[in-house]
Amino acid sequence: MAFARQLPTVLPSLLRGLAIAAALVALWQAVVVIFAPPPFMLPPPARVWQALVNRPELWLRDAPTTLAESVIGLVAGAVTGVLLALLMLRLPLLGRVLMPVLVVTQAFPVFAIAPLLVLWFGFGIGSKIVMATIAIFFPVASAFHDGLTRTDESLLDLGRLYRAGRGQELLLLRLPSALPALASGLRVAAVYAPVGALIGEWVGASAGLGYAMLMANGRAQTDVVFAALALLAAMALLLRAAVVALTRHIAPWAPETQVSFR
């Protein structure tokens, strides 16, 4: 019943997304026909589709591996970001010290710390989850902290008038006001999560879309690289749509949380 009620909202966005994808594929095919690049530089869409069909391990093994790393990293990064934002709100002095440190960590090239994470956490799924967590916790922490600190002063004055404690002020006033900002941070994080996992797989892995792309690139199998990229793009869109649908229930009063592929 809930899905049936949301269908009129989801269907136009889905159709619009499919139309955009079809237009991009048509443009891609036109470039191939007009300029006739070598297949190892730009394979035609049909060849990429053939790679998807002929290599079922891409979507039976590699895509689920990357998806699992992305989802776990997204959850871990979201929890870490929320806890950091609450900590910085509770201890403003610590927040002023932590924020520059967090900004500096985000300024480091991701590839610079990826080998270290693989060295510390191994070649398994752990290092990829940590990489995804590092890639996404800052947008969540920053957006949520901004939302918490920008609560309408009139609401805070009303809480003080009714002698609300700090815990009541946080739960009843600051958190509801900050939920739209948290939803915005989570939408950004949903796109970053697969990228973080992919970079970890490039550095060291035995499965995943990043591993498949690395192996295919070394063998000049550009069609396989494009097939992996197509799966990664679909994964990012699905993750973002899932996060938008979730945040729509968390903060239904925020217009940004309407289900959309925009």
d(C-alpha 11, C-alpha 160), whole Å: 45
30-66 burial, b at 16+ Cβ within 10 Å, e below that, comes to eebeeeeeeeeebbbbebbbebbeebeebbebbbebb
| Per-residue pLDDT reduced to its tens digit, 221-250 | 899 999 999 999 889 888 988 888 888 877
- Domain annotation for the chain: domains and CATH numbers: 62-257 (1.10.3720.10)
Name which of 159, 233, 197, 204 is nearest 65 in CA terms.
Answer: 197
CB 111 within 8 A of CB 132: no
pTM for the full predicted model? 0.82
| Per-residue pLDDT reduced to its tens digit, 201-222 | 888 777 889 889 988 888 888 9
- The whole-number average pLDDT for the span 135-161 is 82
pLDDT band for position 71 (50/70/90)? Answer: very high
